[in-house]
Structure 1
């Protein structure tokens, strides 16, 4: 019998791409969205409304679901609690397999502060008893050009550290592959990276070459990094996340190149240059 698959995050880049890929393969899916009006038009799909922090609605919309694709929630001070609520709802609804978009190097002491939330979410999923697959994505290659300010400068304390950026399209292809044959991936964790590890100076140079405009990298000190972000009056946790994006790169924790994208999908992962040219 064909399993019932639910997809969260379909109004976003990764979840939307996963839903489209599943539809292309003929899978019937259930889209779980916070705003039904923003749900994409995906053939052979049903749309249900729920949010991660609403346990009752989540249980109701997850009943009858065999396999759940859970895109990590929007960054917030309460994201981990929302994840735990939704995972508990999935367990209560009888979901048998949960595929979660985690983070490369997720650990309780990860330099990138938000990677700690991913670690604790993983631990909660394991403790729930639901079969699981973790997709540990590195930073997305697709968003790197948006790190540059209006003056074309990417600023942050990344030093000469390297990062193995991954394309959102590759993450989506891995997820769709797993969801099409979930039994083959139970209990697995995949480190999803691109085929190269770049310094931020090399990232800037690649963006400049592809886009034909001046883009450079300025290596800030920690004090400079916090000072340059003070203009947005963000809460402390958000400033820590922004700055630790760069200190995590400087630490070397995000530099390893994995071949998991190619092993799962049989197709080589995209380079930053290829992502930019495709966008």
Structure 2
């Protein structure tokens, strides 16, 4: 297990989120000093008995906090973990405010969670946004590390729709991804890598590095559906969509959410998310968790795929 270097405070943004909370538990287990930034309504992670994590400060930061307010929350920190913002207008502004605050507070290192395929001409809209954030970070004097992640295992489970009305048939994974492959990754693997980077006794080892965090295999979505079927004990079929069909299915979502999902699926279809990287195993010290292993380890994460019990 990673051990923390003494006297080095790290700040975790998004600590009330799925990724940030996992990272907070790992930093605490390693004996690290950390300050957790949570949203105005967010709950900071706690131990099972309800007590706070050791060596941990909690700071509530309102949505839209500017760089000067954030700089106060970063005071005395060596490194900042920049969790990705939700895909909506203002996401880039939030990222830049965090980076500006890190500069103002004298932080030395920022670890940013980016996207596999980040580029100015990336197919996925989130990957284009992440490229702009990366470029903004590169334009500062801060040391930086980019953790470019693939699509998360859990994300794919929310593309499954129960069209059976509880009869047990008709569960369908719908996505405009064609027969492309995706090397999806678990939140835990990304949290393990982030822990290793943030708490390394020689932080310069990771300065200026870009890591690609993927699962151990690249799956077609019919293979994803088969794995979900086995885990859930019911048949789940993959049905490729056209772009118009995908937009019609997400009519209740915001335009930004629809664009994010559809363009990520287009990236899958075009092969942009198919490459398998060894970076998780090299940095976490173990093999990346496959979709099948994740399904076995975290049944509560995909419980919505099961049929409701009767009686």
* 8 A contact 1:101–1:136 mirrored in 2: yes
Alignment of 1:168-207 (within 5 A): 168-181=187-200, 182-207=203-228
Q: Give the deviation of 1:2 after TM superposition.
A: 2.3
1:146 aligns with 2:158: yes
Q: Give the deviation of 1:235 after TM superposition.
A: 3.8
2:288 to 265, 269, 279: 269
* 8 A contact 2:120–2:128 mirrored in 1: yes
Q: 1:111 to 1:87 in 2, by over 3 A?
A: same
SS at match of 2:215: coil
Q: Give the deviation of 1:245 after TM superposition.
A: 2.1
Q: Give the deviation of 1:37 after TM superposition.
A: 6.0
Count of residues paired in the alignment: 277
* 8 A contact 1:36–1:47 mirrored in 2: no
SS at match of 1:128: coil
In structure 2, C-alpha distance between the alignment counterparts of 1:36 and 1:63, rounded to whole Å = 23
Q: Give the deviation of 1:52 after TM superposition.
A: 6.7
Gaps of 5+ in 1: none
* 8 A contact 1:196–1:257 mirrored in 2: yes
Runs of 4+ in structure 1 over 3 Å off: none
SS at match of 2:250: helix
SS at match of 1:95: coil
SS at match of 2:155: helix
Residue in structure 1 matched with residue 243 of structure 2 by the alignment: 222
* 8 A contact 2:159–2:175 mirrored in 1: no
Gaps of 5+ in 2: 1-5, 47-52, 164-170, 299-311
* 8 A contact 1:10–1:32 mirrored in 2: yes
* 8 A contact 1:49–1:61 mirrored in 2: no
Higher helix share: 1
Residue in structure 2 matched with residue 252 of structure 1 by the alignment: 271
1:47 aligns with 2:55: no
1:75 aligns with 2:87: yes
Residue in structure 1 matched with residue 32 of structure 2 by the alignment: 27
In structure 2, C-alpha distance between the alignment counterparts of 1:265 and 1:238, rounded to whole Å = 31
Q: Give the deviation of 1:77 after TM superposition.
A: 1.3
In structure 2, C-alpha distance between the alignment counterparts of 1:236 and 1:141, rounded to whole Å = 23
State which structure, 1 or 2, has the greater radius of gyration over its C-alpha atoms. 2
* 8 A contact 1:52–1:86 mirrored in 2: no
* 8 A contact 1:142–1:276 mirrored in 2: no
1:105-149 Cα deviation digits (max 9, x unpaired): 111111111111111011111112210011001000123222201
In structure 2, C-alpha distance between the alignment counterparts of 1:104 and 1:149, rounded to whole Å = 27
Q: How much is the aligned-residue C-alpha RMSD, in angstroms?
A: 1.4
Alignment of 1:112-127 (within 5 A): 112-127=124-139
* 8 A contact 1:156–1:220 mirrored in 2: yes
* 8 A contact 1:5–1:65 mirrored in 2: yes
SS at match of 1:38: coil
Q: Give the deviation of 1:189 after TM superposition.
A: 0.7
